[in-house]
Copies of this chain bind each other. A is one copy, B any other.
Amino acid sequence: MDNENISSDSCPIARSLAFAGDAWSILILRDAHGGLTRFDQFRKSLGIAPTMLTRRLATLTEEGLLEKRRYSEHPPREEYLLTAAGRDFLPVLFMIGEWGRQYRGGGKLVRFFDAENGTEIKAVAVDEVTGAKIGTRPIRMVMPDES
């Protein structure tokens, strides 16, 4: 998909997708948010081929969503921790999840609760300024000028 050109695109969605535009990366991020840090934990959780996992972890690390930390010198062992950029991906995960819950919700699904007051979390995207749900008010798109 020629990620080089897309990264210089003026669309922030395209730019995000240039690195995390595949399902494995997003699933790795999901698991990282769930607390997994190690190669084998990801491998077992995802059933991913080790070649894929190596490459995806490397990309996510290069792109600054994960960072490698050595947790043992002998033998040398690394674990992968979320960076701030990786943690800030959580809202994306929740919105993807919310869509899936609504439109692919058959059978049993994992559920998330607010740990403090016990209510089930229902993620919605709102405009921080108006407080309105995204999609409920007309939107005007402004292209950057060429200057």
Contact = CB atoms under 8 A, between A and B. Distances in A.
The 3 A-B pairs at the shortest CB distance, nearest first, are namely: A108-B144, A21-B23, A12-B100
A11 B103 contact: no
B85 A103 contact: yes
Contact of A22 (B21, B64, B138): B21
How many identical chains are in the complex?
2
A107 to B, nearest CB: 7
Contacts of A123: 125-128, 134
Given A16-B104, A91-B95, A94-B125, A119 B130 contact: yes
7 contacts: A10-B107, A11-B30, A11-B100, A12-B101, A111-B144, A112-B141, A125-B125
A137 interface: yes
A129 B121 contact: yes
Contacts of A11: 30, 97, 100, 109-110
Nearest to A104: B15
Interface residues of A, number: 77
B121 A124 contact: no
Given A94-B134, A120-B129, 20 more contacts: A7-B104, A8-B107, A10-B108, A12-B96, A12-B98, A12-B101, A16-B97, A18-B23, A89-B99, A90-B135, A91-B95, A108-B144, A111-B142, A113-B141, A114-B129, A115-B137, A116-B138, A119-B129, A121-B127, A123-B134
